[in-house]
Amino acid sequence: MAAFLAACGGGGGGTRPVAPGTVTPPPTPTPTPTPTPSPVYDTPEYNRSNAAASAGAIAAYEDGATGAGVKIAVIDSGVDIQSAEFTGRIDPASRDIAGTRGIDDADGHGTSVSAVALAAKNDSGMHGLAFNATLIALRTDTPGTCAASDGCSHSDSNIATAIDTAVAAGARVINMSLGGEGPNSRLRTAIANATAAGVIVVISAGNDSLANPDPFAQIAADPAARGRVIIAGSVNDTDALSDFSNRAGSYAAYYLATLGERVRSFDHTGTAYLFGGTSYAAPGISGAVALLADAFPSLSADEIIDILFRTARDAGTAGDDSVFGQGILDLIRAFSPIGATSLAGSAVPVTGDAGSLAVLGGALGDGGDLTGALSDVVVLDSYDRAYVADLGTGISRATPAPRLAAALQTNTEEARDALGIAGYSLSWNAAVSTRPWLGLAQSGGVDARADADARITRGFATGSVTPGTGIGFAAGYGADDLLANMAGTRAPGSRFIASGDALRDDGVSVVGTRAAAVSQRIGAWTFGMAAGTGETESLRPGNAWDRRRNADPVTLFAASASRQIGASDVTVTWSRLDESGSILGAEGSTALGLTRASSDFLGLDWAMDAGHGWRIAAQARGGLTHLDVASGGLISGANALRSLAFAFDVTKSGVAMRGDTVSVRIAQPLRVEGGALRADIPTSYDYETETAGYTRRTFTLAPSGREISVEAAWSLPLADFGHLDTNLFWRRDPGHIAALDDDMGAALRLRARF
């Protein structure tokens, strides 16, 4: 019969005595000022509980895990049954396996080990890692051996019976701060039965400073262990392996270290000491197992061990090594989500990374209530552990660029020509971008540029195939814009740099557009139809010259009716925008459930020559956007989004000299005005049924602000060279975001013809 000794006494086999572990009275604490009130778990008692503190157990407590309902079996010399630290938490299955003495500890080893695992949190002394766990105290010391100078001995037979008792009593983890020779067949069978039942066994590595753990602990590599035996090594408070601790050696795959040197605990008399030995590393790991089992009851033994190993702090040689094995216990990492996270009740992956759920901008501005509606969402990690996450952090907002900066980057001059033969005509237009030479920003900075680089950015060609019938093709223009140009009711360029075209600017930055149109004049009316395709430009940061496109295209359709009524030009336009992967330009995600949208817009464009060089113009555009809600996402339903844009212009020609123009515009770019969305948010999770509980939240995407821009422009012709333009502007709530400062500026631009 092989006999085993308490591991704090080292390794060895038979009844051979071993060197005792260290037991040091704790230093008398220096009086300190009354501390500032701390969170409920960050107490002086916790800070004295260095086994718990060094493992980061406070992360478990703040997640609500205390070990409640979890049974830890400690096979040792019993426990001090008079201690208030265990009152009410000693399981009835506790018993003396080796005799009829009862479980009251006469040696102190069992009490001190049990205290590290689960001593009560009572603002006195120290507390264990799993301070609300239940103790199954199984006394296995051979009668009379604890009084000997070489310490208690424990037989294979008694240990095996204790393991069987622990399994029958429902222990989730068995702590054996024991060491010595390898187990005999009876004990090996007991360990095999325990691991087969899903019980985790924690065994001390031993205190002989050897390259490999004790032979007893080496059972971890035996097939009987099924990978569910953890070997506990000891480190000090600087994460250095304790001099006395046996190393991982050839058993690195099963070895985990934690504090086992100068560990605060108390003995069977209630006297506090700083204990040393791998005996005190083992209950730290056993307590960690209990905390994970409490917090996440659906975890299997294999998953708990995998989490502890996967999240261990790396020490020594990078990765698994022969000294620290898997690393050092770290409950802060163990209680953090691991791997990909998904919505509870859904396989849809989600993260809180900025932009992972949506990137807002354009007509949606900052998305109104969307961020708040996505707080307190239950997600599951790769182990199906439930966490409450603020998914609002996954919503990012594209901060609108100051309009002056955009004007300084691109100076667009329109060039036209036409050819007519016998009633047929062909006209073409190209927009050439160059760099301007001076701009004065709100901040007072001056941006002077000289760049010979020029490129054609957009253009169109139109022609008449029969009198009254026209066709057109465009690149860089939308379908409705091409129709307006064909009808002659809208100038292709704009003098304004801060306020866009209310009809053309639908809040969606579409690049790579290609469009074709046909028009027919019937009496005083000109009717047209057009279609086009393009890609939405990403709202994520990128180079303005090298625009980054989304993979999903958009399609555009438009129909218009135009005519002159006296001195007025009137155009009524219907247009449709079908998006895949975006919503009015905002980038959605599968997790959000919003990736497609169809928008119908009705626009009115009116301009009148008032005589004496005066021209008045107004634009208005209203839209309804229908959202395609994908199943499995956060959004469960949506009403149509209502949007509105408008602009009002007054222009006077010949103010200072012949050919100059002064224009004033007040405008609002397209803005979502209303439309409710519904989200069924998982806000609870039942581990027993593995089902989520949901709360319905209703919110709107109407942004927090309303952008209104006021701009004055003066254009001065420079003979045949081009134009000198001066602009002054003010934008309130840029991008419809109330939190942003107003955008103001002035620009002096030279637009040269080619």
**3-state SS record for 186-253:** HHHHHHHHHHHCCCEEEEECCCCCCCCCCCCHHHHHCHHHCCCEEEEEEECCCCCECCCCCCCHHHHH
With contact defined as beta carbons under 8 Å apart, do 153 and 139 qualify?
Answer: no
Q: H helices of 142-196, where?
A: 156-168, 185-196
Pick the closest to residue 268 from 110, 98, 136 (CA basis).
110
Please give the C-alpha separations between residue 358 and each of 348, 394, 407, 538, 585, in angstroms, as whole numbers.
15, 7, 28, 11, 11
Tokens linked to 315: 């020490």
Q: Which of 83, 91, 107, 109 is catalytic?
A: 109
Is 423 buried (19+), middle (13-18) or exposed (0-12) by CB count in 10 A?
A: exposed
Q: Which of 76, 294, 649, 743 is catalytic?
A: 76
Phi and psi at 261, nearest 5°, equal -120, 125
- What is the C-alpha separation between 391 and 375, in angstroms, rounded? 6
**Known catalytic residue: 626?**
no
Angle at which helices 281-295 and 301-310 pack, to 10 degrees? 120
**Known catalytic residue: 742?**
no
The number of C-alpha atoms within 13 Å of 520 and in the hemisphere containing its C-beta is 3
Q: Which stretch of DSSP H or E encloses residue 274?
A: strand 272-275
Q: Which of 177, 234, 279, 519 is catalytic?
A: 279
- What is the C-alpha separation between 371 and 350, in angstroms, rounded? 15
- What is the C-alpha separation between 497 and 463, in angstroms, rounded? 30
3-state secondary structure of 289: helix
- What is the C-alpha separation between 9 and 23, in angstroms, rounded? 11
**Known catalytic residue: 609?**
no
Q: Which stretch of DSSP H or E encloses residue 511?
A: strand 510-522
DSSP string, 697-751: EEEE---S---EEEEEEEEEEETTTEEEEEEEEEEESGGG-TTSPPEEEEEEEEE
With contact defined as beta carbons under 8 Å apart, do 55 and 282 qualify?
Answer: no
Would the CA dihedral through 448, 450, 454, 459 be positive or negative? positive
Q: In this structure, what DSSP letter does residue 364 have? A: G
Pick the closest to residue 718 from 688, 691, 748, 686 (CA basis).
748
CA angle 704, 710, 716 (to 5 degrees): 150
Distance, C-alpha 470 to centroid of its chain = 53
Pick the closest to residue 118 from 62, 171, 161, 193 (CA basis).
171
DSSP string, 452-477: ---EEEEEEEEEEEETTEEEEEEESS
- What is the C-alpha separation between 578 and 531, in angstroms, rounded? 11
Which residue type is seen at 645? A
Please give the C-alpha separations between residue 699 and each of 374, 626, 632, 684, in angstroms, as whole numbers.
10, 16, 19, 20
Q: In this structure, what DSSP letter does residue 141 have? A: B
- What is the C-alpha separation between 306 and 283, in angstroms, rounded? 18
3-state secondary structure of 589: coil
- What is the C-alpha separation between 726 and 43, in angstroms, rounded? 66
Question: Would you please indicate which residues are annotated as catalytic (active-site) residues?
Answer: 76, 109, 279
